[in-house]
Amino acid sequence: MYRFCPQCATELELRRLDARDLLACPRCDFVHYNNSRPCVGVLVMDDAKVLLVERADEPFKGYWDIPGGFLEAGEHPEAGAAREMREETGLEIEVTSLLGFFMDAYGADDVPTLNICYLARIAGGEAQAGSDAVSLRWFPVEALPQKIAFTWEQEALRRLRSTLR
C-alpha cells in the first residue's frame, strides 16, 4: 500500500470519497483506490486427478498450489494462464472452460486479489517444476492434500469436486 503519492511524493492522507475511506494526496488529488490485482490459476485434469505444484517460496512455502500467478499489465487472462503454466510446470495448455472468479488476499500486506480460475487440458510440453516450485504432483480430486496454499484455491477445488460429481 502507498504511503506517499506516486505522482508528487506528498504523504497521503485518509479521505472519505464515494462513501469509503481512501488514501488521497492533499497536494495533487491523486487517489489510491487499492484495486484487486488480477491473477489466474489453471486446473489441469487427467481423469479424476488434478495437477498441483508444491510452492518453493513464501507465502505458503511447502504448501500445494494451483499453478498460476499475477497477470502482466495488459495481458489477457487466458494468455496469462498459458504463460504461468509454462513457467511453473513446463506444460503447454489449451483452456477448456472457466471454473470461476474467487477473491482473496496475497502476502503479508494482504494485497487484494481477483483470481480467475480456468480448466484446461495439456496440449504439449514436458512436466517439470519451474523455479518457484519444488515439485509437481497429480492428486485424485477426492483425496487432495491438507496443505492447500490460498483460501481461493480451497474454494476452487471444492467447486471442481462438486462439478465432477
Give the pLDDT of the chain (165 residues) as one tens digit per residue: 789 999 999 999 999 998 999 999 999 999 999 899 999 999 999 989 999 999 999 999 999 999 999 999 999 999 999 999 999 999 999 999 999 999 999 998 899 999 999 999 999 999 999 989 999 999 999 999 999 999 999 999 999 999 988
Are residues 16 and 50 located together in one domain of the fold? no
- pTM, to two decimals: 0.90
Domain that holds residue 10: 1-34
Indicate if 20 and 57 belong to the same structural domain: no
Query: Does 84 lie in the same domain as 7?
Result: no
Q: Note whether 30 and 45 are same-domain residues.
A: no
Examine the domain organization and report whether 24 and 41 are in the same domain: no
Q: Which amino acid is at 161?
A: R
What integer pLDDT is reported at residue 109 of this predicted model? 87
Considering the domain architecture, whether residues 57 and 24 belong to the same structural domain is answered as no
CB 116 within 8 A of CB 35: no
Are the beta carbons of 60 and 146 closer than 8 angstroms? no
Identify whether residues 135 and 121 lie together within a single domain. yes
